[in-house]
Structure 1
């Protein structure tokens, strides 16, 4: 079993036992069995509602292993607007569809969806397919 230690940014002084590369959806699972890239099996048991972030450190129940969480690159659509108002309009329309969206001052990022891609392009945004880490917003009642 692993328990979440305090959230830490990547720190070169921390000696981790291994890393666990997870997609955005996998970083929201509180109970799951994962296999690391080097074949270690990890049974994750975290408090319900826990969301892991890139760089978080997990500690096993015996406090003998530290595991760094890495945001795994995954297929996404990245939408870029010519101006802030257009980006805000697109965020509004995506929010009305209740899809997970990563919001930044320069782009919106979401899981691939042909209907949403068409909508964003019709609104005037440039949409490109990428393979990058995805960190969607937790929602109004999520912990930040």
Structure 2
């Protein structure tokens, strides 16, 4: 079994042996066992609290295998608004509910939830169900290893 124990700088342009597509929930787990699409068993054994991001590089404990992490497309709700103030208001209401949220200048993205979808539509926002990569914010006190510019 391939055990991934070290996170490397994602800024390095390097050839990788394998790409692992993981959902947002899977990228937030530091200890996890999964199988690749080819059926190879892989174990994440990273420092507790590690949150992986699209493009991150992991190295096997043996040092001979490099793996790139990819954000796996998954069901999400994408929220858009006519104005930035409406989008900020939506982020405020979702934050009050401690919802994992991807925040950009043009849209918000969250895991599907019919109650939250109804609330957002009631606020006059455009909500669409999609299959897309989901990269929620880590949080103000979260630690995700090497710093990432977002």
Q: TM-score range by the shorter chain?
A: over 0.9
Q: Distance in 2 between matches of 1:68 and 1:39?
A: 17
TM-score, normalised with respect to structure 1: 0.94
Change (3 A) 1:31 1:65: same
Residue 39 of structure 1 deviates from its aligned partner by 1.4
1:55 match: 55
Output one character per residue of 1:57-110: Cα deviation in whole Å (capped at 9) or x when no partner: 110011110011110000000000000100000000000000100000000000
SS in 1 for 2:51: coil
Pairing 1:19–2:25 present: no
CA contact (8 A) 2:6 2:61 kept: no
CA contact (8 A) 2:59 2:67 kept: yes
Question: In the TM superposition, what are the counterparts of 1:1-144 in structure 2 within 5 Å?
Answer: 1-9=3-11, 11=13, 14-143=14-143
CA contact (8 A) 1:10 1:55 kept: no
TM-score, normalised with respect to structure 2: 0.90
CA contact (8 A) 1:59 1:66 kept: yes
CA contact (8 A) 1:78 1:110 kept: yes
SS in 2 for 1:5: strand
May I ask how many residue pairs the two structures share in their alignment? 142
Q: Which runs of 5+ in 1 are unaligned?
A: none
Q: Distance in 2 between matches of 1:39 and 1:56?
A: 22
Q: Indicate the RMSD between aligned Cα atoms, in angstroms.
A: 1.2
Q: Distance in 1 between matches of 2:11 and 2:123?
A: 36
| Runs of 4 or more above 6 Å deviation | none
